[in-house]
Structure 1
C-alpha cells in the first residue's frame, strides 16, 4: 500500500534515536514507538543491537513485546500478557489494528463475529470504530457491509515476516516464477499457431485474387469476341470483283484481332 513508505520513514527516526538511548531512555522510546500513530512495522527496529541487548537483562519483556507487535496479534498478547509489559489503551488499539491486518492478509471477506472474537471488543459499534481508525491509519482498505455484518477487504499493509518464514515465501515466489514461465511458453506457442494460420489465410487470399483476375480477363476477351461477331457474323461481304479480296481481308481483320487476343490471353494463363 501507499502508506508503507511513510511508515518506514517514521520508523527510521525512532531507529536513529534508539542508537543513542540507553536504560530507561530506551524503554521510554520503545513505549513511544508502540504508541506512534504512523508506525506499524517493527522488524528493522528489532534488529538493532541495543534492542537485542535487552534480552540479556531485566527488560527482556520489551523486546518480546516488540516481537508481539511485529508478528503477533491481540489474542497472542492476551495469552502471554503476564510475562509482558502492560499496554496503554493506544497501544492496545494499535495491536488490534495489526490483528485486523493479519486477518485481511488471509481473508477477503471477514465476518464481524471473527473480528469481535479476535479483537475482544464488546460491541459492533466499537468494532467499526476500530476498523475506521485502521482505514485512516492507511493500514487497510476495506468496506463495512453492515447489512451482512462483514468486512470486505480491498488491500492491506504488509506485516513483518519472521526469519523462519522466509523459506516459505521463497518457495511461493519460486512456484510463481515457474507458473509465469509456463504461461509465457503457452502464449508463445499460441502466437506461433496464429502466425501459421495467418500465413495460410494470406496464401489462400492471394490464390483467390489470382483466380478472380484470370476470370475477369477471360470474360473481357469473350465480350470483345462476341461484339465483333455481332458486327460481321459471316465474316464476308457482298462485294465482288477486284475489290472483293481486299474488302474480305479488311472485313476479316477484326476476327484476326480476336484470335490474336485469345492467343495472348492463353499465353498469360
Structure 2
C-alpha cells in the first residue's frame, strides 16, 4: 500500500468524527488530529462544516492553529502565540517537522542557519537531533552534511496547499506549459529541417545514381561500337610474295 493511502486513514477517521460533534468534543477531535503521528494534511478536516463554523466562536483559536498545521510554519505559530492555544510538546515537534517539509519544498539543500531560525532552535546539536527524529518518523528523507552545515533533502511527506499559494502554482504551471510549447516548437522545427535534409540527400543520391547509370551506358555503347568495328573489317589479306606454283615441274635426267 502506498504512503499516501496510509496517511489518509487516520485523517478520514478524524473527518468522520468532526462531522458528528460540536463544541468541546469537536475541539478534542482537532487536538487528536494535531497529535496523531501519521496525520500531516488537514484540508479535509478544515473543510468540515462544523470546523468552519468555529470561525465566529470562542473556539476560533483552535481553527487558526489547525490552519497553521495545515500550511503554516512554527514561526507563524510563535508570531501569533498569544492568541493561540498552547501546544503540547508532541505538537510543537510535529509542527517543526512540517516546517522542515515547507522549507524542503523551497530548497533541496537547507542551510543550518535557516533551520535554526525557522525552527527556533538554539544550537546545532539540538537541530540535528530534531532532523534525525523527523527522518526516523518518515516525515523527511535526506542526509546531514555536518561539514558544510546543510540538510540535503531527498523526499518529504506532502502538505496542504495554502490558499495564497494557488496563484503561484498556477503561474508555475503556466510557465512550465509555455516552456513545453517552446521545446515542442523547436523539436518540430528540427524535424522539418531533418526531413528537408533527408529529401535533399535522397535527391542528390538519385542524381548521382542516374549520372552513374548514364556513364555506364555510354561505356557499354562505346565498347559495342569498337567490337562492331572490328567484326566488319574482315580477316587480313595475305601477301603474294613467296607463293609457289601449284603446277608440276619435270627435271631432265
TM-score (norm 1): 0.77
- Structure 1 match to 2:122: 122
Question: SS where residue 106 of structure 2 aligns?
Answer: coil
Structure 1: how far apart are the matches of 2:201 and 2:223?
A: 33
Superposition map of 1:22-171 within 5 A: 22-171=22-171
What stretches of structure 2 of length at least 5 have no aligned partner? Answer: 239-253
Structure 1: how far apart are the matches of 2:216 and 2:141?
A: 69
Cα deviation 1:49-97 (Å, max 9, x = unaligned): 1112222322221111101111211111112222111111111111001
Question: SS where residue 142 of structure 1 aligns?
Answer: strand
Alpha-carbon distance change, 135 to 212 in structure 1, aligned in 2, over 3 angstroms: farther
* 136-145 or 31-40: bigger deviation: 136-145
* 136-145 or 201-210: bigger deviation: 136-145
Deviation at 1:39, TM superposition (A): 1.0
Structure 2: how far apart are the matches of 1:94 and 1:119?
A: 11
Is the Cα–Cα contact under 8 Å of residues 3 and 139 in structure 1 kept in the other structure?
Answer: no
Cα deviation 1:118-172 (Å, max 9, x = unaligned): 1122333332232233334443332221221101223434422233432332233
Q: Between Structure 1 and Structure 2, which shows a larger proportion of helix residues?
A: 1
Alpha-carbon distance change, 226 to 90 in structure 1, aligned in 2, over 3 angstroms: farther
What stretches of structure 1 of length at least 5 have no aligned partner? Answer: 241-269
Question: SS where residue 105 of structure 1 aligns?
Answer: helix
- Structure 2 match to 1:261: none
Superposition map of 1:232-251 within 5 A: 235-238=233-236
Structure 1: how far apart are the matches of 2:33 and 2:206?
A: 75
Structure 2: how far apart are the matches of 1:163 and 1:130?
A: 29
Structure 1: how far apart are the matches of 2:42 and 2:91?
A: 14
Alpha-carbon distance change, 200 to 9 in structure 1, aligned in 2, over 3 angstroms: farther
* 155-164 or 36-45: bigger deviation: 155-164
Is the Cα–Cα contact under 8 Å of residues 104 and 110 in structure 2 kept in the other structure?
Answer: yes
Is the Cα–Cα contact under 8 Å of residues 11 and 45 in structure 1 kept in the other structure?
Answer: yes
Alpha-carbon distance change, 164 to 217 in structure 1, aligned in 2, over 3 angstroms: same
- Structure 2 match to 1:258: none
Is the Cα–Cα contact under 8 Å of residues 3 and 138 in structure 1 kept in the other structure?
Answer: no
- Structure 1 match to 2:14: 14
Is the Cα–Cα contact under 8 Å of residues 54 and 63 in structure 1 kept in the other structure?
Answer: yes
Structure 1: how far apart are the matches of 2:89 and 2:141?
A: 23
Task: Give the CA RMSD over aligned residues.
Answer: 2.6
Is the Cα–Cα contact under 8 Å of residues 7 and 38 in structure 2 kept in the other structure?
Answer: yes
Q: How many pairs are equivalent?
A: 237
Structure 2: how far apart are the matches of 1:145 and 1:179?
A: 34
